[in-house]
Amino acid sequence: MAPMRQQPITDDSFSEAEALRLMRGLASGHRSRRVDNAGEKQNRRAALARTVEEEVIPRLLTSRRQQSRAHAGGSAEAAPDHVATIVKLVLAGTQAETNGFVASLHQGGAAPDYLLLDVLSPAARRLGAMWDEDLCDFSDVTLGVMRLANVMRLINQAFDDGYQPGAAGPSALLVQMPGERHGLGLAMVVNFFRRAGWNVCHVPVIDGEELVGRVKREWFGVVGISVACSDKLESLAANIRSIRIASRNPAVGVMVGGPPFIEHPQLATIVGADMTASDGLQAVSNAKTLMSRLARER
């Protein structure tokens, strides 16, 4: 396994100084560690989401990596220790220390799937939980997530050589629910699909009409929609019905993902989808199963 390239974060990524300047502006009205007003805490969470979604994540993830063996060099037993270490580093260390720790895991044999699914994703969730529990403040969490995202960018670069989309591979349209921003989770799912040889269209869609227009113009084997909030489920169900009616592929498979479906997988059936998945690796496996099932039913 080729070693992870130890290179500095380039100018097109977010620097810590830029992040801190941005956070000072966004957090100016959210200084207190404890928030008694529920509406005010919701505003803080919305501000954090905008910081990460609009200013940090969109600059980071380009997915062109070689196929790698899932979870090689990592183990379920070691993962909690690795998560605890990286959370400590992103909160109290430096970007260089964080990069160095992840690079050492890779050099010890950890595959990108292990690093992404078992280390970085749980670390990001832990940061969110710490903020909800008032164990760290707005700036701590935002800077920590920024550092995790920059590490993800380096992981992508370490595995980008030789990636070519499979001309004959299956095709998928992977989008965020219209009106929502592309998030870290969906970007990670896109990476897993591409590395598995899928031809992925990953574009923002402004509304349901634009989403339906795309599936009407282009042939996709699978359409995957990520949803962040449960209050969008009614609109999601309407979009799925429209996709099935308009799709250029009359046997299109529809998958859904996001926090509402991780907590309640049965919601996938309720909104009219064929399948859901809890992470990128499972999403690829389920999509392959779905494609095979639909082919047999034709």
**What stretches of 56-180 adopt beta strand conformation (E)?**
171-176
pLDDT tens for each residue of 105-159: 988 888 877 888 788 888 888 887 888 788 888 788 888 888 888 887 777 666 5
Which residue matches tokens 């799912």?
189
Q: Taking a C-beta distance cutoff of 8 angstroms, is the pair 256, 273 a contact?
A: yes
More confident residue, 181 or 23: 181
pLDDT tens for each residue of 73-96: 556 667 889 999 999 999 999 999
Band of pLDDT at residue 165, cut at 50, 70 and 90: low
Tokens standing for residue 275: 């399948």
**Residue 21, amino acid:** R
Q: Which stretch of 52-56, 72-76, 246-250 has the lowest confidence by average pLDDT?
A: 52-56
CA distance 147 to 139: 12
Decide if pLDDT at 272 tops 70. Answer: yes
Give the per-residue pLDDT at 162. 46
Nearest in space to 258 (alpha carbons), one of 228, 223, 224, 283: 228
Average pLDDT, the chain: 75
Nearest in space to 119 (alpha carbons), one of 101, 132, 135, 146: 101
Tokens standing for residue 103: 């690079």
More confident residue, 4 or 282: 282
Strand order in the sheet with 253-257: 199-201, 171-176, 222-226, 253-257, 275-276
Q: Is the pTM of this model over 0.75?
A: no
Tokens standing for residue 297: 């039913």
Give the per-residue pLDDT at 236. 95
Domain boundaries, the chain: 16-158, 171-297
When mean pLDDT is compared over 19-28, 146-155, 157-166, 172-181, the highest value belongs to 172-181
DSSP 127-151: HHHHHHTTSS-HHHHHHHHHHHHHH
User: Distance from CA of residue 198 to its chain's centroid?
Assistant: 17
171-297 CATH, one of 3.40.50.970, 1.20.140.10, 3.40.50.300, 3.40.50.280: 3.40.50.280
| Relative orientation angle of helices 208-217 and 233-246, to the nearest 10 degrees | 30
Nearest in space to 131 (alpha carbons), one of 123, 121, 141: 141
